[in-house]
Chains A and B, each alone.
Chain A
Amino acid sequence: MDKSVKASPCCGGSFSSKGEIPREEGFVDGRVNTPAGPVPRVHSRIGSRDLLGRWKVRWGIGRDRYRVAPGLYALGAPDGNAPVLVTANYKLTFDVVRRDAAGLDAWILVLDTRGINVWCAAGEGTFGTEEVIRRVTETRLSEVVSHRRLILPQLGAPGVAAHEVRKGCGFSVAYGPVRIRDVRSFLDAGMKATPAMRRVVFPTIDRLVLTPVEITGMLRPAGGAAIGLFLLAGIGPDVFSLGAAWQRGVPAVLALAAGILAGAVVTPVLLPWLPGRAFSVKGGLAGGVLAACAVMWRRGALEAPAALALLLAMAAVSSFVAMNFTGATPFTSPSGVEKEMRRALPVQAGLTVLAGLLWVGGAFLR
């Protein structure tokens, strides 16, 4: 599961379902004829283009344009009795479906979620009751299959009311497992999911793949902060000195970068092992420990106010950045995050101001 996409600056307005995205992509390798017309058949191989695309969106490049055309696709050689799997039109999601459902003969009904993954789209309502009904009707699914059942990913449930879909298009909704790789066991067990298949987990590898986009999202604010730091660094007994701006600015910007890394990479990876429940506490600790190491390492070169400033600032930056990772996790609640922010933001701001005073003040003490 990957909620990272929800932070995407999506926009782009509505994407019409026809014409704009070709259905003749690399993953289509044929046609299956049905009473409702030919349906593109997809294969399960993930090629170098898919891998490159995946790498790019992980770094936040073109993430809001990584889509497949909505509509019906065939996987394997499905017939009128084959199951219908419903999914989103984020290509990252679609690739996982065709890869992990390999070997299955199934129909894949792709909803227009504007290139957003299932869970986030369900939260926004685009993976929703109306879109399911619209897509079932538009693809004339009732002519393609003889049964009247759709298998939706469980994480689509925040956007879809199963009982209303049935009323709206005659198809009943079964919620399948959270992860598509369990769908075969789910089908073999007579459409039954084990409790483990129904639970969302967030293992280290899933946290790790989300860290690049955390960093790229920080680049712009970090750039602004770095300029501010260089300006502040120049302030001293000579009012403003370019030499000091450079000499004191570089270590300050390095500390900023280290704080961001602590919050955006170290904290997410070590998430379950860092003490505390609040992300701000976890991030603050990670940043603080890292800063303490930096102070020890450079102890000859640092004066006391600068060392203290470094410690406070890195903890505050890391704490703030770590708090932003709440949006990428599959378990934080809006009320919980808001509560944490009301407490943490004043502390983070206070530490930053204190660090700034110590640091600028330190220049006058020399």
Chain B
Amino acid sequence: MCAQVCPHGVFAVARGKARILDRDACMECGACARNCPADAIAVHPGVGCASAIMNGWLSGSKPSCGCGG
């Protein structure tokens, strides 16, 4: 499942096991962790967005774009 949902092809599954092929391609969206029935991977998901991170620094809260909808 993790290999299926990853938008950047980070995983390869061989003989029933998933392996990380390219860690630097990961954008930390968290799709793999959310859809892993075995809870085998943890990601701190977030937005890779400079203004969001700046908002987070200024407001002292979790980075979010605008008000987080």
Q: Do A and B bind each other?
A: yes
A162 touches B54 (CB 8 A): no
Cβ-based interface call for A9 (8 A): yes
Docked complex Cα distance between A331 and B6 (Å): 11
Convert A319-342 into 0s and 1s, putting 1 for each residue whose CB lies closer than 8 angstroms to a CB of B: 000011011111111111110110
Convert B36-53 into 0s and 1s, putting 1 for each residue whose CB lies closer than 8 angstroms to a CB of A: 010000001111111111
Task: Give residues of chain B (1-47) contacting chain A, Cβ–Cβ below 8 Å.
Answer: 1, 4-9, 25-31, 34-35, 37, 44-47
B45 touches A123 (CB 8 A): yes
List residues of chain B with CB within 8 A of the CB of A178: 7
Docked complex Cα distance between A279 and B49 (Å): 11
Total interface residues on A, CB under 8 Å, equals 50
A contacts with B: majority SS: helix
Cβ-based interface call for A42 (8 A): no
User: Nearest chain B CB to A122's CB is how many angstroms away?
Assistant: 8
Cβ-based interface call for A32 (8 A): no
List residues of chain A with CB within 8 A of the CB of B49: 6-7, 324, 326-328, 332, 334, 337
Task: Give residues of chain A (103-162) contacting chain B, Cβ–Cβ below 8 Å.
Answer: 113-114, 116, 119-124, 126, 154-155, 157-162
Total interface residues on B, CB under 8 Å, equals 35
B contacts with A: majority SS: loop
A334 touches B47 (CB 8 A): yes
Cβ-based interface call for B58 (8 A): no
Q: Which of A7, A162, A200, A333 has the most CB of B within 10 A?
A: A333
Docked complex Cα distance between A329 and B27 (Å): 10
Cβ-based interface call for A195 (8 A): yes
A338 touches B26 (CB 8 A): no
List residues of chain A with CB within 8 A of the CB of B34: 157-161
B66 touches A7 (CB 8 A): yes
Docked complex Cα distance between A8 and B53 (Å): 15
A163 touches B35 (CB 8 A): yes
Docked complex Cα distance between A7 and B49 (Å): 9
User: Nearest chain A CB to B21's CB is how many angstroms away?
Assistant: 12
Docked complex Cα distance between A340 and B51 (Å): 13
B35 touches A337 (CB 8 A): no
User: Nearest chain A CB to B2's CB is how many angstroms away?
Assistant: 9
Which of A8, A163, A333 contacts B28 (CB under 8 A)?
A333
Which of B8, B27, B28, B69 contacts A199 (CB under 8 A)?
B8
User: Nearest chain B CB to A84's CB is how many angstroms away?
Assistant: 19
Say whether, besides A195-B9, A198-B9, A200-B8, A327 and B66 are in contact (CB < 8 Å): no
Docked complex Cα distance between A331 and B50 (Å): 13
User: Nearest chain B CB to A210's CB is how many angstroms away?
Assistant: 13
- Nearest 3 CB-CB pairings of A with B: A327-B49, A332-B48, A334-B46
5 A-B pairs within 8 Å (CB atoms) are namely A10-B67, A120-B69, A124-B64, A199-B8, A334-B63
Known: A124-B68, A163-B35, A334-B45. 15 other contacts (CB 8 A): A7-B52, A10-B68, A11-B69, A154-B4, A154-B5, A154-B7, A178-B7, A195-B9, A199-B9, A326-B50, A333-B27, A333-B28, A334-B44, A334-B46, A338-B53
* Interface residues of B, Cβ cutoff 8 Å to A: 1, 4-9, 25-31, 34-35, 37, 44-54, 63-69
